[in-house]
Amino acid sequence: MKYRSTRGQVKDYSFEEAVMAGLSPDGGLFIPHHIPQLPVNWQSAWAKLSFQQLALEILSLYIDESQIPRADLEQLINRSYATFRHDDVTPLVKVKDGLYVLELFHGPTFAFKDVALQFVGNLFEYFLERRNRNDTNGQKHRLTVVGATSGDTGSAAIYGLRNKKNVSVFILHPKGRVSPIQEAQMTTVLDKNVHNLAVEGTFDDCQDIVKTLFGNRAFNDKHHLGAVNSINWARILAQIVYYFQTYFALLRSLNLDPASEEAAKIKFDFSVPTGNFGDILAGYYAHRMGLPVDKLLVATNENDILDRFFTTSAYEKKTVGGNVKETLSPAMDILVSSNFERLLWYLAQQQTGDDDKAGLQVAQWMVELKENGVFRVDETVVQSARAIFDSAMVTDDQTLQGIHQYQQTHQYILDPHTSVGVTAGDRVAQRDQLALLPQGPHAMICLATAHPAKFSDAVEAALKDVPGFDFQSQVLPKEFVGLLEKERSVTYVERADPQLIMDVIEKELKNEGIAF
């Protein structure tokens, strides 16, 4: 399996090259040359597999044996998910008839990004150790990981990469714009190879700086930059697994054989709270591979560029006073969705019928976005995308209502991002009059992207009037107790300036004792 850029200039990267580069030299994102189809007997052959075993089967379809031998891949997967607190890794919980929550927060940092970043950290170390072993020139292969975070990516990346050999990690976050728990999770990691940069600005400022650094050929070549943001293909790949796991888990709960006619009648609808489009894109790949998916619901907060695209066919930046709107679901506070370019390539390919022309079209759209703040996609193409995608926008007030309602009615506490997904799922189920299980065939599966303890302000605001509610005893995991008081390591950057960031990176690398 080879990988190409969404912008058409790079066509034959190996899996290792695509993962280690993160971003293509032409500014595009890596996608596989083709989307592999499932084995004929996958439903019966995979029905009883554990998460780790399922991951091995799915990832093997995208990673050639010549890139990672199967035995090595199995070890990488097992090591990655040994850090999770739940045996199922990502358990499926029935909250009410027809509505299920896929809990993705049982990893080290209590966020869905652990599923991908525990794996990515081990991948980086594996590839670098192999390169250093095989290099007869004595050259030391290293990676300088640079990422931007609106909250969860940073801590998940840090926990995935802390103390990894031959890797230094620099995470930029907007100063004062991540939750106290998220900030503490990042900045209390004191490993020598971990560097937190608090930047005066927004998440989009941080993300723009990261893209600028990756586009700076001299700096990139000098420090061998690597990406852990959702632009890295390995993150999307790892997330595909839990869509399949959900399919099997739900059918098991209904005592249905996946290969049976009864199982084929079940309609799987996934509601995914998303800003950067990575989590839901994994569902799109699962669907294209052959997983039965009825709908993928894009659930956004008031930073709704994705909802507006599926409604109007226009991909348009819309700002409040020139900036992203701050909401109660900050991990989705974005102006531009960094992963959406991958879906755009598939839409362009459908429109043109040609891989190279699709790359040219995506590149043109990106130029229009940069110059005009907007581009439009042919209405018929977007209409075909709506066959699998739906979308809904959820306000802060509705987010709080969702948290309150589910705690009161179902004794289940949602974090604000998950509330966006659940609220959107309920709304669309009602709008379309979906016949939900057990009376009907539809199952609405909402992805829970973070533990509610990570967003105490929103949860406490939603539940402050509930008699007997106590955040400390009912929500806070023991791992978070005392976290805010721990020693921290963070560098403050006075403005969102790429040169300032480059200077800090070089200074910190020297402090690590790294020659360049």
Residue numbers annotated as active site = 113
Contact 196, 173 (CB under 8 A): yes
Query: Token pair for residue 212?
Result: 């600028």
Q: Which of 281, 351, 390 is nearest to 29 (CA)?
A: 281
Burial class (CB within 10 angstroms; exposed 0-12, middle 13-18, buried 19+) of 433? exposed
Q: Rounded to an integer, what is the distance from CA 264 to the centroid of its chain? A: 29
Round to whole Å and give the CA distance between 341 and 263: 34
Strand ranges for 67-121 from DSSP E: 92-96, 99-103
Q: 402 CB contacts (<8 Å, ≥6 apart)? A: 394, 414, 419, 420, 422, 423, 426
Q: Which of 330, 315, 334 is nearest to 377 (CA)?
A: 315
Round to whole Å and give the CA distance between 449 and 274: 9
DSSP state of 196: E
Q: 15 CB contacts (<8 Å, ≥6 apart)? A: 1, 3, 62, 63, 64, 67, 68, 233
Round to whole Å and give the CA distance between 509 and 516: 9
Q: Is the peptide bond before 108 cis (omega within 30 degrees of 0)?
A: no
Element counts in the chain: helices (H) and strands (E): 21, 15
Q: 382 CB contacts (<8 Å, ≥6 apart)? A: 309, 310, 313, 347
